[in-house]
Chain A
């Protein structure tokens, strides 16, 4: 569906201001009398707090206050669940142990706050942290995911019988029957590591309490202003209307910024009221690594039952999922992993089961991909293993099992993160796979290029992988569209932005409906003072859910404008058109009225109004899908490995994606590029490593390697498919996480292919050259 603006690659409207530095980020905000906060964080992953001595810290000049859990009394309690438990899944069990704002009696991960200092500057606050003495009784840390569930393991939460945080089992058909029917059952174990979100801008918050107006203002680069407002109001006994949350320009989110009721917002809102001074806290990078949520380790035990011709008859997957010290986000990540193992290919029988495990590590919540890439990784790895054992090519086995183009809507028989059965609304997986093979020139590479280069001693390899991405899930988002007296349009939504181009794409949708210049549409996101309803920025749902709400609101305004103009211009609505900022009679160019004049007329200051009429050219609309729209695609990758140093160079990547209607194809390309880069980080560089004591050893960018521009493939070709989603009027599916999802799968496969003669097989990603070297040595030894 294309319009004057929708489906056009217009430049981002927000860029001129961003590029010229003409915008405000959180740390740019200075308020009169503002104080600064710093946290004293636990050095231990698991320890009892015997005592905390803050007397020296309190004496330091410039320190306003030093507070430990006991200073907050009953205010300190575990925070609310951020995501409901999976009660919709039959037999699912769970316990909830949500985030403590400040450690009381016991610390459960290294970096957990034990005290907060408020001082005249951040420097002084940090100096004071050095003067706080905590007497700990160290306890054995729970680090290993599988050992954590064994009897006798130390307990993260001692009031629980074990470290088990939940269990989910979902099945279709019969695994036992599948095994009987199969010619071959392949078993593999996979290890999935842990990554950080690592946005360019770290987290931060500023809180100001106006004691006269009894009004709190919070500036925070959160992905969910509404949750932050509501949870703050509830905690402090205020009306929601007494708390206004504003997101300044925000340098990336990638998942972790969705969380609220964290130590910073819980403690700083309280202290700003108590001290009657504004307080700022800006997270530094070390804190971000130590104490901002990150994502997942998992251990999978998977079995795939196949026929001799490669047809899948069943899959059994059993995995452990590390949720860290607390589980405020419940099961979004493992549910995504679980669903994405079986939703891209035809899997007539499956049995998939996971245990969620508490450990003395950072809390796990979604990071771009949100567990989906590991469902995809497990399935893609199993297909590679099956192809190898059956003597098939990786292409052949995928073709054999991909869902056919006529399969939609496809009922997956598995309940996902939105607690309804996943339904694949639309798509054409075989065609996107075929297109990928063409773009990567698969046949030519395998038949001509590779043999030639191999003859020269070069280790070159190719990989192909497919993926789907459940996006755009509920519950809902909303938007208000208002035409001003100046004829320009304002869109407000509770949806927040961290750089995704909402200021452009939402404007494109509205400009098409109202016939205005896209530059005359101003989009305001993430400010509860403007719009107070919505869920948050997650699950690749911005353009699908909030974009659709915006579209619906703009349509309502269009109807209002047509109705009013029809009266004024004395012409039937069918003969009117909206274009160039006016409503005009289609055949009589001189007969028109501007949208601005209409807006003024729609808001009479004297006289009468029709009963039931609403003033202004304004409308609010909400949109909540019955289930998410599923995007999909495929990727091909050609790499070269230095046979001695095992350094990998990415020669060429082809990536084909289907997100239905791309509202702005250039923005879609950007999302894919960024996702791919994050996927490369996942596949090759990024790894949060905890030692046996639960200490994070990768707490800076010196140790935690992050993909750079120079790490992108030398050649990157994108291909697009458009199978519009029937779920929303514009036919949109989400795209925010897509790029990141299949990269670990394709990377590992390509390296394996390059080193084919060694017989090496990888059971994990994050393949550093040293790790590849070790695997190859082991394969040679075996």
Chain B
């Protein structure tokens, strides 16, 4: 379990990092927290020709409030920093709660918010969280940049729209709407383990407790985070009764997810979990919505 040979670059500025990525092209791979990439390299499942280590790029570590009440998070911000940041808790209480479920404290001390998104593990929390919160990503390359919505970012397992010379630089979370509530439900074999099924629910209600918006994002049960369309169709404009929520849960588990059978659980069990977790999650999110 030693990695195959690779070149190593440790730029100290974004400009230098982008120039290095540009020159390396397909040979270059960004190293953020390294909590997924390094084990994959030690197993020799990943064999990047060159690593561009962002750990010395100080300008990528930050959490800043945005004027509209949202947040901008630098790509290299450690998970544990996000987890403990008072501004994050204040503006997005769901975020630290979800982040706490990522592995163990040692891993969160190294793992980064942007790194998890760019890695696009279908069983990872932060990609799903970014879809649920309608995050926007600032993607930079030498001499250019573009904004990508979280919903459009994930192409498949470990696949995103990022080009080899590009780098995810910043994650912007727009403010939570008035009357919103959120919930996170996850089942994993062990504390800190991969989810067998998980769902993040963000709902918005009006003064009459009718559902204005609902975003149910499932992960670990398909190739990318899955944003449910069913939940919207059934719930928006209506009072979210227990029956309506049960119907949503039933339909999502049948139609919108595609869990596989693995050594820890059958597809049937994981589909059943989706049904249970969506019901529990939506119920909790609507209870919290105000």
Binding site for B on A (CB under 8 A): 122-123, 126-127, 130, 284-286, 644-647, 685, 687, 689, 697-698, 700, 702-703, 705, 708, 710-711, 768-770, 773-774, 777
Q: Let me know if B1 and A284 touch, CB within 8 A.
A: yes
Q: Let me know if A768 and B189 touch, CB within 8 A.
A: yes
* B237 sits at the interface (CB 8 A): no
Q: Which chain A positions have C-beta within 8 A of B2?
A: 122-123, 126
| Contact stretch, chosen from B12-20, B91-99, B112-120, B259-267 | B259-267
Known contacts A126-B2, A130-B4, A768-B264; A685 and B269 CB within 8 A of each other: no
Q: Which chain A positions have C-beta within 8 A of B263?
A: 687, 689, 697-698, 703
Size bracket, chain B contacts = 20 to 34
Q: Which chain B positions have C-beta within 8 A of A770?
A: 196, 264-266, 269-270
Cα A59 to Cα B265 with chains together (Å): 46
Q: Which chain B positions have C-beta within 8 A of A645?
A: 187, 273, 276
Q: Let me know if B189 and A705 touch, CB within 8 A.
A: yes
Q: Which chain A positions have C-beta within 8 A of B3?
A: 123
Q: Which chain A positions have C-beta within 8 A of B193?
A: 705
Question: How close is B108's CB to chain A, nearest CB, in angstroms?
Answer: 15
Known contacts A123-B2, A286-B43, A645-B276; A774 and B269 CB within 8 A of each other: yes
In the assembled complex, 27 residue pairs joining A and B whose CB atoms fall closer than 8 Å, in A order, are A122-B2, A123-B2, A126-B1, A126-B2, A127-B5, A130-B4, A286-B43, A645-B187, A646-B269, A647-B187, A685-B189, A687-B263, A689-B263, A697-B263, A702-B194, A703-B263, A710-B191, A710-B192, A768-B265, A769-B189, A769-B265, A770-B264, A770-B265, A770-B269, A770-B270, A773-B272, A774-B268
Cross-interface CB contact of A130 among B44, B265, B270, B272, cutoff 8 Å: B44
Cα A127 to Cα B5 with chains together (Å): 8
Cα A115 to Cα B102 with chains together (Å): 40
Chain B: which residue is nearest A702 at the CB level?
B194
Known contacts A286-B43, A708-B192; A127 and B264 CB within 8 A of each other: no
Cα A687 to Cα B264 with chains together (Å): 10
Cα A770 to Cα B272 with chains together (Å): 10
Closest 7 CB pairs of A and B: A770-B265, A284-B1, A770-B269, A710-B191, A644-B276, A123-B2, A773-B269
Question: How close is A649's CB to chain B, nearest CB, in angstroms?
Answer: 11
Q: Which chain B positions have C-beta within 8 A of A702?
A: 194
Cα A122 to Cα B4 with chains together (Å): 11
Question: How close is B261's CB to chain A, nearest CB, in angstroms?
Answer: 9
* B67 sits at the interface (CB 8 A): no
Question: How close is A696's CB to chain B, nearest CB, in angstroms?
Answer: 11
Known contacts A769-B269, A773-B269; A127 and B1 CB within 8 A of each other: no
Q: Which chain B positions have C-beta within 8 A of A711?
A: 190-191
Cα A644 to Cα B3 with chains together (Å): 43
Chain B: which residue is nearest A38 at the CB level?
B2
Q: Which chain A positions have C-beta within 8 A of B269?
A: 646, 769-770, 773-774
Question: How close is B272's CB to chain A, nearest CB, in angstroms?
Answer: 7
Contact residues of B between 37 and 55, Cβ < 8 Å to A: 43-44
Cα A769 to Cα B272 with chains together (Å): 12
Q: Which chain B positions have C-beta within 8 A of A687?
A: 263
Q: Which chain A positions have C-beta within 8 A of B265?
A: 768-770
Q: Let me know if B187 and A710 touch, CB within 8 A.
A: no
Cα A688 to Cα B276 with chains together (Å): 29
Q: Let me know if A127 and B43 touch, CB within 8 A.
A: no
Q: Scoring B residues 251 to 290 as 1 if CB is less than 8 Å from chain A, else 0, what string do you get?
A: 0000000000001111011101100100000000000000
Chain A: which residue is nearest B4 at the CB level?
A127
Q: Let me know if A708 and B266 touch, CB within 8 A.
A: no
Chain A: which residue is nearest B263 at the CB level?
A689
Q: Which chain B positions have C-beta within 8 A of A644?
A: 272, 276
Q: Which chain A positions have C-beta within 8 A of B1?
A: 126, 284-286
Given contacts A130-B4, A770-B264, A773-B272, 10 further A-B contacts (CB under 8 A): A122-B2, A685-B189, A685-B190, A702-B194, A705-B189, A708-B191, A711-B191, A769-B189, A770-B269, A774-B266
Cα A777 to Cα B43 with chains together (Å): 38
Q: Let me know if B190 and A710 touch, CB within 8 A.
A: yes
Q: Scoring B residues 187 to 217 as 1 if CB is less than 8 Å from chain A, else 0, what string do you get?
A: 1011111101000000000000000000000
Cα A225 to Cα B52 with chains together (Å): 47
Question: How close is A598's CB to chain B, nearest CB, in angstroms?
Answer: 53
Cα A685 to Cα B2 with chains together (Å): 28
Question: How close is B170's CB to chain A, nearest CB, in angstroms?
Answer: 30
Cα A687 to Cα B3 with chains together (Å): 27
Chain A: which residue is nearest B196 at the CB level?
A770
Cα A700 to Cα B272 with chains together (Å): 27
Chain A: which residue is nearest B265 at the CB level?
A770
Contact residues of B between 113 and 165, Cβ < 8 Å to A: none
Cα A685 to Cα B5 with chains together (Å): 35
Cα A703 to Cα B193 with chains together (Å): 10
Q: Which chain B positions have C-beta within 8 A of A777?
A: 268
Question: How close is A694's CB to chain B, nearest CB, in angstroms?
Answer: 16
Cα A401 to Cα B3 with chains together (Å): 58
Question: How close is A271's CB to chain B, nearest CB, in angstroms?
Answer: 20
Cα A698 to Cα B263 with chains together (Å): 9
Cα A768 to Cα B3 with chains together (Å): 33
Cα A174 to Cα B264 with chains together (Å): 44
Chain B: which residue is nearest A705 at the CB level?
B189
Q: Scoring B residues 226 to 240 as 1 if CB is less than 8 Å from chain A, else 0, what string do you get?
A: 000000000000000
Question: How close is B283's CB to chain A, nearest CB, in angstroms?
Answer: 13
Chain A: which residue is nearest B267 at the CB level?
A770
Chain B: which residue is nearest A125 at the CB level?
B2
Q: Which chain A positions have C-beta within 8 A of B44?
A: 126, 130
Chain B: which residue is nearest A709 at the CB level?
B191
Q: Which chain B positions have C-beta within 8 A of A774?
A: 266, 268-269
Q: Which of A644, A705, A708 has the most CB of B within 10 A?
A: A644
Q: Let me know if B187 and A769 touch, CB within 8 A.
A: yes
Q: Which of A123, A126, A645 has the most CB of B within 10 A?
A: A645
Contact residues of B between 1 and 41, Cβ < 8 Å to A: 1-5
Q: Which chain A positions have C-beta within 8 A of B189?
A: 685, 705, 768-769
Question: How close is B232's CB to chain A, nearest CB, in angstroms?
Answer: 25
Q: Which chain B positions have C-beta within 8 A of A689?
A: 263
Cα A647 to Cα B44 with chains together (Å): 34
Q: Which chain B positions have C-beta within 8 A of A769?
A: 187, 189, 265, 269
Q: Which chain B positions have C-beta within 8 A of A122?
A: 2
Chain B: which residue is nearest A703 at the CB level?
B263
Cα A769 to Cα B196 with chains together (Å): 11
Chain A: which residue is nearest B185 at the CB level?
A645
Q: Which chain A positions have C-beta within 8 A of B196?
A: 770
Cα A502 to Cα B44 with chains together (Å): 40
Q: Which chain B positions have C-beta within 8 A of A130?
A: 4, 44
Chain B: which residue is nearest A284 at the CB level?
B1
Question: How close is A38's CB to chain B, nearest CB, in angstroms?
Answer: 8
Question: How close is A722's CB to chain B, nearest CB, in angstroms?
Answer: 36
Cα A284 to Cα B193 with chains together (Å): 22
Q: Which of B187, B193, B194 has the most CB of A within 10 A?
A: B187
Cα A770 to Cα B196 with chains together (Å): 10
Cα A700 to Cα B1 with chains together (Å): 11
Cα A769 to Cα B189 with chains together (Å): 8
Q: Let me know if A708 and B190 touch, CB within 8 A.
A: yes
Question: How close is B242's CB to chain A, nearest CB, in angstroms?
Answer: 15
Question: How close is B131's CB to chain A, nearest CB, in angstroms?
Answer: 24
Cross-interface CB contact of B190 among A284, A646, A703, A705, cutoff 8 Å: A705
Q: Which chain A positions have C-beta within 8 A of B268?
A: 773-774, 777
Cα A286 to Cα B42 with chains together (Å): 10
Cα A773 to Cα B190 with chains together (Å): 17
Chain B: which residue is nearest A773 at the CB level?
B269
Q: Which chain B positions have C-beta within 8 A of A647?
A: 187
Cα A702 to Cα B43 with chains together (Å): 12
Cα A644 to Cα B187 with chains together (Å): 11
Cα A255 to Cα B204 with chains together (Å): 57
Q: Which chain B positions have C-beta within 8 A of A646?
A: 269
Cα A668 to Cα B149 with chains together (Å): 58
Cα A647 to Cα B276 with chains together (Å): 12
Chain B: which residue is nearest A704 at the CB level?
B263
